[in-house]
Amino acid sequence: MKYLKFLIVGIIFGIILVKSEAVSWYRIYEMFMFESFHMYGIIGTAVGTGIILLLITKKLKLKNTEGSLMSVPPKDRGLVRYLLGGSIFGLGWALSGACPGPMYILVGTGVFSMLIVILAAIIGTYFYGVIKDKLPH
């Protein structure tokens, strides 16, 4: 039962991403071609709404279900890892059309070849973990 709420959050997340077409390879291509406002509208309104929600949260000092102040953990400082890692992610995102959320969601829509992408992503993550200390961060 403890996990039921997370299951429901996941189900709603999956429904939103399919209904918004953000899981579509075509939509990602169109976004990078700057030929539609659709994806920018989704990301823009998500971030706009997110900023307002988090500002209100901070102002009202809202607490989470565990009883502590609601907050987002700060990202580590850095430049290279974000720019380089981000670019590598972007290459893969445009090629496979799927980021780590949609990958799973698309399996639910019946695209089982996406399991290959997921497996490759796990291997990519493993590879990062192995060579992490040799990379500039």
Task: Give me the least distance between CB of 60 and another protein, in Å please.
Answer: 12
45 and 20 Cβ atoms separated by less than 8 Å: no
DSSP state of 97: S
Distance of closest approach, residue 115 Cβ to another protein, in angstroms = 10
Residue carrying the six token digits 């290279």: 80
Applying CB under 8 A, which of residues 1, 59, 66, 134 lies at the interface with another protein? Answer: 66
123 near another protein (CB under 8 A):
yes
Size of the site for another protein (CB under 8 A): 114
C-beta of residue 94 within 8 angstroms of C-beta of residue 32: yes
The reply on whether position 134 binds another protein by CB under 8 A is no
Helix 25-32 / helix 80-96 crossing angle, nearest 10 deg: 130
Compute φ and ψ for 69, nearest 5 degrees. -60, 140
Distance separating alpha carbons of residues 91 and 69, to the nearest angstrom:
37
Site for another protein in 67-106 (CB under 8 A): 68, 70-79, 81-101, 103-106
Q: Enumerate residues 7-46 that contact another protein by CB under 8 A.
A: 7-33, 35-46
CB of residue 79 to another protein, shortest distance in Å: 6
